Structure 1
């Protein structure tokens, strides 16, 4: 096990072509981030606190944040680490959309580009710029190179062959409506159940507001940050089990808050594997979920750890 120090960063770590492509601020993202963070601060107001809200928060983190993002978007769609029936895959994608982290094609393409140019100037969120850039800054500017047809052809052609995913790309409002619908259902269902139990409109409204603030707003912001932490913390702080051609680290804290994604150097060492666990104490709860699906007959072709049989640089780019 090789213990490493934080890497040195530089604001000049983007190539000239990359700097030319990121010269326009993406105000829609910035305003969305600002509004959601401000609304999530409502958790600190006593009126919105309830233990039911806290339960809704953690349940949402697992259902939407872990099943949707690292398990479906990352391991299933991006790396093909396992397969499920199409109906279940689409269901997982809907869960991911409820975390407001873009459409599957965009998420997959960005992450595949990251693996193809990890910690190089063309890496979308290289930490060699600085921590802020790797964590959130890269999302706050428009990158023209990531909106071209050739970019999608290279990095996510297989994803866009699915009519549902192509529909989401061509009808971007559908993504927003899915998120808003799930948020509205959180409030309305919570209010209906609370009113049926309590029989008091004011108390039911307070409970519904609590579950909405904790289960939707705070959960969405929290899942954003734990996802972004894989890009930032896990490429700056931690230790390395494998000598990969990047700065990926195994970070126990990120692994704890993401269900295993923080064993990031292990992932870069064998990107196709469904498991990120190479030592007994590197617990990978997301992999255990995948194995549970396999046991139920809902997951097949679960890719085992097999670094000696696969190239370290495996990434599903430009499939034919």
Structure 2
């Protein structure tokens, strides 16, 4: 093992909890040991969390920034990740105009959860291998692993060339998605959204009669809350579906993995927490199968249908409970 690899392994061991624990029910995916740090992910995740902590400083707090962050967190997670990446691209639970699909995807990229092809490929692999050793992020290999640990180390099974060919061929038939894989478009879109929030807030403060220093401070506070705090919140909301809903909750269906319906995540993540229902009927655009399983994402898709922007919505099959 090269010295740099040994250093990376040591750094992982010192910096984070054990990725898999003695109580784990399955082993970590093959190839992740010895741990090799994914420095890109570690740097991005660490930087966003550090910048989000600025929100705790008095100079970066104001009620307007907080409210904007709350609204943005609900909309970006709902529209970008749930509708765009998950129910539309990954499972093809409904159809919509291509321009609208691309808009959903741009919103999802603003959440910094990887390119559409890679997000779809990893999620499809999760369904194919769910809660078995090759599952990229099963919490049965350790809660920390399922929540965030899998993102911090390199996994050869998730190398882009291999996983794309098997799980994302349909996505990469679209030149738009091929372009997003190149030329650092993720970074460009993130920088664009930072500028949009900053200058919109700057103009708004000037319109209210603020001075230059007041306007700049207000704009920076909006960026901290509406970009960094919001992104970190949406990350953990998404990761909680991977971790919490394979460990705690109730089951409507006897599936061949440990998916659960979790009340807290179901409400927090706009219906994504009805995860046992989803694993039992993956293509369905509706994850809430019982009347009390409120599914904001599905209701939004139905609203799009009413507006003539969605069609061929897949509804739950008749399943044996």
Decide whether the 8 Å contact of 1:9 with 1:127 is kept in 2. no
Matches within 5 A, 1:174-193: 174-193=185-204
User: In the superposition, relative to structure 1, how do residues 180 and 9 fare at CA in structure 2: closer, same or farther (>3 Å)?
Assistant: farther
Per-residue deviation, residues 178-236 of structure 1 (Å, max 9, x unmatched): 01110121111210121122241122122212211111110010000000000000101
What is the CA–CA distance in structure 2 between the aligned matches of 1:190 and 1:120, rounded to whole Å?
47
User: In the superposition, relative to structure 1, how do residues 148 and 272 fare at CA in structure 2: closer, same or farther (>3 Å)?
Assistant: same
Corresponding residue for 1:170? Answer: 182
User: In the superposition, relative to structure 1, how do residues 148 and 67 fare at CA in structure 2: closer, same or farther (>3 Å)?
Assistant: closer
Note the C-alpha offset of 1:63. 2.3
- Structural RMSD (CA): 1.8
Matches within 5 A, 1:254-293: 254-293=265-304
Note the C-alpha offset of 1:11. 7.5
Paired residue total: 300
Matches within 5 A, 1:99-110: 99-110=111-122
Corresponding residue for 2:229? Answer: 218
Corresponding residue for 2:103? Answer: 91
Corresponding residue for 1:159? Answer: 171
What is the CA–CA distance in structure 1 between the aligned matches of 2:303 and 2:225, rounded to whole Å?
28
Is it true that 1:14 corresponds to 2:28 in the alignment? yes
Note the C-alpha offset of 1:13. 1.3
Note the C-alpha offset of 1:150. 3.7
Decide whether the 8 Å contact of 1:18 with 1:121 is kept in 2. no
Corresponding residue for 2:78? Answer: 66
Decide whether the 8 Å contact of 2:137 with 2:150 is kept in 1. yes
Decide whether the 8 Å contact of 2:32 with 2:156 is kept in 1. no
Decide whether the 8 Å contact of 1:236 with 1:247 is kept in 2. yes
Decide whether the 8 Å contact of 1:270 with 1:307 is kept in 2. no
| TM-score normalised according to structure 1 size | 0.90
Decide whether the 8 Å contact of 2:32 with 2:154 is kept in 1. no
Corresponding residue for 2:252? Answer: 241
What is the CA–CA distance in structure 1 between the aligned matches of 2:127 and 2:258, rounded to whole Å?
12
Higher relative contact order (Cα pairs below 8 Å, separated by 6+ residues): 1
Corresponding residue for 1:75? Answer: 87
Note the C-alpha offset of 1:46. 1.7
| TM-score normalised according to structure 2 size | 0.89
Gaps of 5+ in 1: 1-7, 313-320
Consecutive aligned runs of 4 or more in structure 1 exceeding 4 Å deviation: none
Note the C-alpha offset of 1:283. 0.3
What is the CA–CA distance in structure 1 between the aligned matches of 2:111 and 2:196, rounded to whole Å?
15
Higher deviation after alignment, 189-198 or 22-31: 22-31
Is it true that 1:131 corresponds to 2:143 in the alignment? yes
What is the CA–CA distance in structure 1 between the aligned matches of 2:71 and 2:196, rounded to whole Å?
15
Decide whether the 8 Å contact of 1:114 with 1:123 is kept in 2. yes
Decide whether the 8 Å contact of 2:42 with 2:152 is kept in 1. yes
